[in-house]
Amino acid sequence: MEHIRMPKVENVRLLVRSSSRRTQVGTLYLTATHTIFVGKGSEDRNELWVLHSLVCNVVKHKASQSGYPLLIICKNFQVIQFIIPQESDCHDVYISLSRLSRPEKYEELYCFSFNPSVDKAEREHSWDFLDLKAEYSRMGLPNKLWHVTPINREYRVCDTYPADLFVPKSVTLPVIVGSSKFRSRGRFPTLSYYCKENHTTICRSSQPLSGFSARCLEDEQMLQAIMKSNPGSRFMYVVDTRPKLNAMANRAAGKGYENEDNYCNIKFQFIGIENIHVMRNSQQKLIEVSALRSPSMGEFLTGLENSDWLRHIKSIMEAGLFISKAVAEEGVSVLVHCSDGWDRTAQVCSVASVLLDPYYRTLKGLMVLIEKDWVSFGHMFSHRCGHLIGEAKEVSPVIDQFLECVWQLMEQFPCAFEYNEKFLISIHNHIYSCHYGNFICNSQKERKDLCIKEKTHSMWLHLWEKKLDFMNPLFKPDQSQNQGLLRPSTAPYCFKYWRRLYNRFDRELHPRQSELDCLMTVKEETQQLEEELALYEQKMAVLDKERAKTLYMQKGVLDSKQALWSLPLDTSLANTPQDYIGGAPNVFTLQQGERERAELCLFGDQTKSSDADNSDQESGVADFSSHSSGEESLPSEDSVKDPDSDETGPNRA
Amino acid sequence: MYPFFYRPSHLTLNGPWGLSSTEQYYKQTERLWDRWRVSTVNSDYSVCPSYPSAVIVPREVDDDKLIRSARFRQGGRFPVLSYCHHRNGMVIMRSSQPLTGANKKRCKEDELLLQAVIDGSELGYIIDLRSAQQAQQARMTGGGFESKSFYSHWKRIHRHHERGKIVQESLIKLVEACSDPSHSVDRWLSKLENSKWLSHVHSALSTAGLVVECVERDGHSVLVHGSEGTDNTLLVSSLAQLILDPASRTVTGFLCLLEREWIQAGHPFQQRCAHSAYSHARLKQECPIFLLLLDCVWQVWRQFPLALEFSEALLLRLAQEVYASNYGTFLCNSEQERCAAGVKENTHCLFQSLLRPDIEEQYLNPLYEPTDLAIWPSVHPQSLQLWTGLFLRWTEYAQNMEEAREEVWSIVKEHHEQAGPDRTNNTLSTHCDTLTPFENLMDELTIL
């Protein structure tokens, strides 16, 4: 609170970004955690809350006629512009916000003060929601070739790695220690993904400290052991995700890459993904393009091209595709590293996992994947997302790029993902918001030292509870092409600008009607109806047993009744018979007829209308309610109809 | 030509050809009866060879005046009614450029005709689809524009639109860019930008939006023209109608719109759509304006996926038919030529055949829910996309989209089965409520 020089300013104007004409007058409040704008007059949509931890930058603009503009630029790409009448007020707000949005200590972050009304047990439950042990056992680990090594339990061998790590059973502790001493930051090769179908693995590490000629026997043994743990293959890939030039330059600093001559049976491969600084600049350019006010088509496309952003996304995707193909198609294990093994390595391993394993295309699967490959393996969220004031050079949109790769895949495979883009955007938002403790700190050790689990809440359960918002109605898990390996095209036209993320808050840029939302509603309702139907079927099954006998005797009459109600029906209803095939035909047609009528009883909204279609359906309803006497109303000339043609007739109509 | 020999067993030549006529449109539009009339001054195509035999004009302007006005307009395309807005009676007119020439000729009858269009209301807008400079230059070759001093109640707005060869070259470049998947992203984006195709889509949609803004929001009538009035003019007037008029968003309505605004209005299909993108013969007349229209309609559908009764499949079918067809619909350049060639007697009508129930079904949008409001598309570059369904039609990319499309159908069908069609419609309609008039305001286009 001591940083707030001005808790409240009246008569502030809020500008809507895309149109200078639409503004709103109201009061601006600064609290310890939020900037709040409350519009005057209008009833709804007039409150705007911005978390301080989401604020990326505060900018004062030159005074205009109407006052002093203050720009708040957020990490979720929201840009808010206020116009404050008094210069001194504007300055005070500016100074306060500048300080509030740049916390110096973890304890200042919002997740430590966020206190929803849940008790301790519930908070603990939120942290237990994801269990990495369960994830490894889902993959089929531990097994006879791989086990958990206790070596890093106290984070002594590698303080940026998680406590539990999978290594081949055949490697001894000295080998691990030796290998870790030969790797940057001690990040020795360890398992990231295990494919139980063919025992292939994706392992990850940091670069070896090879310099120009150094070698390490233990490290060579380590790789040998990983290779041998995949009995089906006689070599393994070592993928260095850096451009070759960068890797060579590192040799001068005593780091570098594996020499193929020193390691048996490895195939070494460079994949030129640029470093965090290039990516940061690229995204900056992209954001500038996205914020252009009414650019021409040419300006936009040129800006998009010059940002190079999509080229970087493509290179990450291609790296992921290379690895996933090696695993699924060639059956060859892969070791991935970059420099430190927590940025590009995390991106590439997780993209490959999404391509390989349909589980990661489900809601929970993606959560687990981020928890495993990013959070537990020490992606430096605090540095990369700039949670605390510090080195601006450490900030880089590495996780943004992973989420975007998933989005690009969703665009190519609309039926392969259980989640929708809102899910990705929510994750993105919360990675930066510091609302939950998940993405605080740079490693598991730091989080443990800070007692994150005791002091904050976990985001995953929160997202899981809102999962209805995040479902993709088109998801078809059983479709063969959505199982197993996804093979995305990496043709340049497959990489698109992610409007929903970068122009998230520019409402007028997005489609005014959402196909997917609409489908979701339709789908949910169908499900609901199916449930109700099942209930009625149960009830009816009892009745049917009693009536089956009578029905056989009345066969001819019943068939004609079927014809009577089905003829005027809409064709869309007509293919119902196919779905119910499997019983004795005559009993069956009746059952189905009854089902339809049961629905009409349940949802009797059609009965209001008096046209021909509905009056027939109404009589159907009446028949059902007084079933045994129904046949009286039937015209006898229809009773000669062939039962088969009754079933197929409406289909062809 | 092949359509003259195409005789499928399920079609007969005796059926009606075409969906509607000027007279029918007039009859259906009650708002017109008072102040407008159907003129048959062009019944022998002598006044304007590219117009249909009947056109709708203000009641108080007689045929003699029309003939004089026609002499003052390029190709005889005098201002005629294209659309009357059902909500406020404002109209969209179209014509070709006036032949004012270098010495600023004027034509009293033409001025009277336009005066009669606005009839007492204070202002009408002329949307000239050329830049002010181009319009000035046109005077050197005998063309020109309506000068403020002679058409005092009309305000002229210039919007630059590319035409002819430039648009054709765009298409060639775009198709070339799409056919090579080995490009780098940079090269692809630069080729996409360089083709300028999306820029044409952008300008077409924003000018159409401007027209709609004049008619719907500001309540003024509009006259649209470029030079000849057979290409961009039709593009803009038909897009404006799609945005404005719920009736033109049904399958039948859309096909009627195409028939009125493109076929009967004399878009020279034979000259414009002879060779598509792969020809290197430099044909002066070739120009994919109709394809551009289909692309724009696709963009509207992307932004309002529930508002059109037809689906992308119909647009794709039309894109194919316009270049190579068994039907006579897109033959010739005008009604006059079609009459002379006996198209109606000797070929089948594409639109009629698309509307046969069993065929039409495959072109329906399963999520269609009519809305009465204007559907203003966003014209920000971020909101416009490459029409992958057309330009990447034969790639694996399109196959995945096809799968998604089928899934949409199956979800809706399942719902139909469970709940019946009425209830499905109800569910869909609750989703359209979000489309409030407020949200429809389009800020980017300001005309005053």
Measure the CA–CA gap between B220 and B92, rounded to whole angstroms: 9
* CATH architecture classification, A8-102: Roll (2.30)
B contacts of A321 (beta carbons < 8 Å) = none
Measure the CA–CA gap between A203 and A161, rounded to whole angstroms: 13
What pLDDT was estimated at residue B300?
94
- A292-296, A558-562, A643-647 — most confident range: A292-296
- Give the A window 30-89 contacts with B, CB below 8 Å: none
Residue predicted with more confidence, B352 or A179: A179
CA distance B128 to chain A (A): 20
What pLDDT was estimated at residue A190?
96
Q: What is the pLDDT of residues A470-529, one digit of tens each?
A: 999 999 888 777 778 999 999 999 999 999 999 988 888 888 888 888 888 888 888 888
Contacts of A523 (CB under 8 A, 6+ apart): A473, B411, B414, B415
Q: Which of B345, B109, B356, B92 is nearest to B208 (CA)?
A: B92
What pLDDT was estimated at residue A600?
35
Biggest distance spanned by C-alpha atoms of chain A:
99
What pLDDT was estimated at residue B426?
66
Q: How far is CA A516 from the centre of its chain?
A: 16
The pairing of beta strand A55-60 with beta strand A266-270: unpaired
Structure tokens at A625: 């309610």
SS3 (DSSP) at A352: helix
Q: What pLDDT band is residue B4 in, cutting at 50, 70 and 90?
A: confident
B contacts of A495 (beta carbons < 8 Å) = 185
Q: What's the whole-number mean pLDDT along residues A280-299?
A: 92
What pLDDT was estimated at residue B217?
87
Q: What's the whole-number mean pLDDT along residues A123-144?
A: 93
List of E strands, A274-338: 334-337
Q: What's the whole-number mean pLDDT along residues B327-344?
A: 88
Measure the CA–CA gap between B147 and A143, rounded to whole angstroms: 87
Q: What pLDDT band is residue B1 in, cutting at 50, 70 and 90?
A: low
Does the pLDDT at position B443 exceed 80?
Answer: no
What pLDDT was estimated at residue B372?
87
Structure tokens at A55: 């604020």
Structure-token match 């394993």, residue found: A357
Q: Is A338 annotated as a binding residue?
A: yes
ipTM: 0.91
What phi and psi values does residue A168 have, to the nearest 5 degrees?
Answer: -60, 145
B contacts of A302 (beta carbons < 8 Å) = 190, 193
Q: Is A298 on the interface with B (CB under 8 A)?
A: yes
- Give the A window 2-31 contacts with B, CB below 8 Å: 18-19, 21-22
Assess contact for B257 and B235: CB atoms under 8 A.
no
Q: What's the whole-number mean pLDDT along residues A641-652?
A: 38
Contact A513 B413 (CB under 8 A): no
Residue predicted with more confidence, A20 or B113: B113
Structure tokens at A482: 């959505």
Lowest mean pLDDT among A350-364, B10-24, B414-428: B414-428
Does the pLDDT at position B411 exceed 90?
Answer: no
B contacts of A578 (beta carbons < 8 Å) = none
Biggest distance spanned by C-alpha atoms of chain B:
72
CA distance B89 to chain A (A): 27
Does the pLDDT at position A249 exceed 50?
Answer: yes
Q: Where exactly are the structural domains of chain B? A: 2-446
Residue predicted with more confidence, A595 or A444: A444
What pLDDT was estimated at residue B290?
94
Measure the CA–CA gap between B419 and A95, rounded to whole angstroms: 59
Contact A518 B183 (CB under 8 A): no
Q: Which of B129, B300, B376 is nearest to B230 (CA)?
A: B129
Structure tokens at B360: 């039409």
Q: What is the pLDDT of residues A62-92, one digit of tens each?
A: 888 888 999 999 999 998 999 999 999 999 9
Structure tokens at B411: 């979800």
Structure tokens at A640: 């000669």
Q: What is the pLDDT of residues B285-317, one digit of tens each?
A: 888 999 999 999 999 999 999 999 999 999 999
In chain B, the percentage of residues whose pLDDT exceeds 90 is 48
CA distance B242 to chain A (A): 16
CA distance A87 to chain B (A): 30
First to last CA, chain A: 73
Measure the CA–CA gap between B335 and A181, rounded to whole angstroms: 85
Structure tokens at A505: 């808050």
Q: Indicate where chain A has its CATH 2.30.29.30 domain(s).
A: 8-102
Q: Which one-letter DSSP state was computed for residue B217?
A: I
Question: Least CA distance to A578: which residue of chain B?
Answer: B417
Measure the CA–CA gap between B171 and B168, rounded to whole angstroms: 5
Q: What pLDDT band is residue A21 in, cutting at 50, 70 and 90?
A: low
In chain A, the percentage of residues whose pLDDT exceeds 70 is 82
With DSSP H G I counted as helix, E B as strand and the rest as coil, what are the percentages for chain B, rounded to 5? 50, 10, 40
Average pLDDT of the residues of chain B: 86
Q: Is A294 on the interface with B (CB under 8 A)?
A: yes
- Give the A window 304-363 contacts with B, CB below 8 Å: 304-305, 308, 310-311, 314
Measure the CA–CA gap between A176 and A167, rounded to whole angstroms: 9
The pairing of beta strand B124-128 with beta strand A266-270: unpaired
Q: Concatenated DSSP letters for A563-584?
A: HHHHTTS-GGGTTHHHHT-SS-
Q: What pLDDT band is residue B87 in, cutting at 50, 70 and 90?
A: confident
Average pLDDT of the residues of chain A: 83
What phi and psi values does residue B299 have, to the nearest 5 degrees?
Answer: -60, -40
- Give the A window 375-434 contacts with B, CB below 8 Å: 412-415
B30-42 burial: b if 16+ Cβ within 10 Å, else e? eebeeebbbbebb
Lowest mean pLDDT among A155-159, A526-530, A566-570, B421-425: A566-570
Q: What's the whole-number mean pLDDT along residues B428-438?
A: 48
Measure CB to CB from residue A513 to each of B178, B193, B306 and give the nearest one: B306
Q: What is the pLDDT of residues A437-466, one digit of tens each?
A: 999 999 999 999 999 999 999 999 999 999
What pLDDT was estimated at residue A633?
38
Q: Which residues of A carry out catalysis?
A: 338
What pLDDT was estimated at residue B282?
62
Q: What pLDDT band is residue A293 in, cutting at 50, 70 and 90?
A: confident
What phi and psi values does residue B414 have, to the nearest 5 degrees?
Answer: -60, -40
Structure tokens at A134: 């369960």
Q: Is A578 on the interface with B (CB under 8 A)?
A: no
What pLDDT was estimated at residue B359?
82
Contact A493 B392 (CB under 8 A): yes
Structure tokens at B44: 């022998």
Q: Which one-letter DSSP state was computed for residue A471?
A: B
Does the pLDDT at position A562 exceed 90?
Answer: no
Contacts of B186 (CB under 8 A, 6+ apart): A305, A308, A311
Contact B411 A503 (CB under 8 A): no
Measure the CA–CA gap between B298 and A310, rounded to whole angstroms: 25
- A98-107, A113-122, A158-167, B15-24 — most confident range: A158-167
Contact A492 B189 (CB under 8 A): yes
What pLDDT was estimated at residue B308?
93
CA–CA distance from A222 to each of A226, A393, B81, B344 (Å)? 6, 34, 82, 81
Tell which phi-psi region holds residue A582, choosing left (phi > 0), alpha (psi between -120 and 50) or beta. left
Contact B440 A512 (CB under 8 A): yes
Measure the CA–CA gap between B170 and B203, rounded to whole angstroms: 14
Residue B272 sits at the vertex; the CA angle it makes with B267 and B276, to the nearest 5 degrees, is 140
CA distance A128 to chain B (A): 35
What pLDDT was estimated at residue A6?
80
Residue A350 sits at the vertex; the CA angle it makes with A478 and A338, to the nearest 5 degrees, is 155
Q: Is A599 on the interface with B (CB under 8 A)?
A: yes
Q: What's the whole-number mean pLDDT along residues A197-225?
A: 94
Q: Which of B207, B426, B218 is nearest to A521 (CA)?
A: B426
